[in-house]
């Protein structure tokens, strides 16, 4: 039986992390952990409960009493307690506010603990902003995905249109630039490439090409 490794995939918003991570996990028969969905779930819960997003203590108190879980499916299902929030956490309102919520240390520390529990037995693919640096610093394979702002905005635009969300390409470019700034400059666990991460610029690559590249790197690690 081959060993099971942990694969950490980091990168800025709309770099293709989740899409690629799902493909790689399926091909390796690994569990996929969408950490971005966890931050989105917290953001949705805060908005739903009218909690001020700048109030770190209130967010921490809410999170302490909030269960976030995943269930498998054609599309991985995300739940807060018994409420299926898979679709609503991808709304434009949640997207516009998730970086502010994710910047709070109390939120990041709690979710990082939960993410580390998911990874204890290996055989997982986890994507996010700080997986290789803060959540899984000992992951056997770390990938850092990059793509131009224009390319990432185009991808997000097509995703939104496909899901029926109203979307403006120029506004998306502006929002992605703002999220990049927040993610790279936040004080707690900023977005950064781990020293031992392999960088992949996906601007001129298809999703299939990126997934194939990561799969090959994973196989090499598994067979070492």
Rounded CA separation 4/18 (Å):
20
Q: Is 153 annotated as a binding residue?
A: no
Rounded CA separation 115/112 (Å):
5
Q: Is 19 annotated as a binding residue?
A: yes
3-state helix, strand, coil in the chain (%, to 5): 50, 15, 35
Q: Is 105 annotated as a binding residue?
A: no
Quick one: pLDDT at residue 28? 94
Quick one: pLDDT at residue 71? 85
Q: Tokens representing 216? A: 């090959």
Rounded CA separation 85/81 (Å):
10
Do 1-16+129-216 and 31-121 agree at the fold level? yes
Quick one: pLDDT at residue 1? 56
- 170-223 pLDDT per residue, tens: 999 999 999 899 899 988 888 999 999 999 999 989 999 999 999 999 999 999
Q: Is 25 annotated as a binding residue?
A: no
Q: Is 164 annotated as a binding residue?
A: no
* Phi (first) and psi of residue 100, to 5 degrees: -65, -45
Provide the residue ranges of all domains of the chain, joining segments of one domain with +: 1-16+129-216, 31-121
Q: Is 73 annotated as a binding residue?
A: no
Domain 1-16+129-216 has CATH 3.40.50.300: yes
Quick one: pLDDT at residue 121? 84
Q: Is 41 annotated as a binding residue?
A: no
Q: Is 12 annotated as a binding residue?
A: yes
117 torsion bin: left (phi>0), alpha (psi -120 to 50), beta (else): alpha
- CATH class for the region spanning 31-121: alpha beta
DSSP 149: H
Which positions of the chain have pLDDT values less than 70? 1
pTM of the complete model? 0.83
Quick one: pLDDT at residue 124? 94
Q: Is 16 annotated as a binding residue?
A: yes
């Amino acid at each position: 039986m081959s060993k099971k490794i942990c694969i950490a995939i980091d990168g800025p918003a709309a770099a293709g992390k989740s899409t690629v991570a799902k493909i790689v996990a399926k091909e390796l028969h690994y569990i996929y952990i969408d950490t971005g969905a966890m931050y989105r779930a917290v953001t949705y819960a805060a908005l739903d409960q009218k909690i001020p997003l700048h109030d770190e203590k209130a967010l921490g108190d809410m999170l302490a009493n909030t269960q976030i879980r995943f269930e498998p499916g054609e599309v991985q299902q995300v739940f807060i307690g018994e409420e299926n929030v898979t679709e609503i956490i991808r709304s434009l309102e949640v997207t516009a506010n998730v970086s502010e919520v994710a910047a709070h240390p109390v939120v990041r520390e709690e979710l990082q603990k939960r993410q580390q529990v998911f990874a204890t037995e290996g055989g997982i693919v986890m994507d996010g902003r700080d997986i290789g640096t803060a959540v899984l610093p000992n992951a056997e394979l770390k990938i850092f995905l990059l793509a131009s702002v224009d390319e990432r905005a185009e991808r997000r635009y097509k995703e939104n249109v496909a899901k029926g969300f109203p979307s403006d390409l120029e506004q998306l470019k502006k929002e992605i630039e703002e999220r990049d700034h927040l993610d790279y400059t936040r004080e707690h666990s900023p977005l950064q490439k781990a020293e031992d991460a392999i960088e992949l610029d996906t601007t001129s690559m298809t999703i299939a090409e990126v997934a194939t590249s990561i799969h090959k790197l994973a196989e090499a690690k598994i067979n070492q």
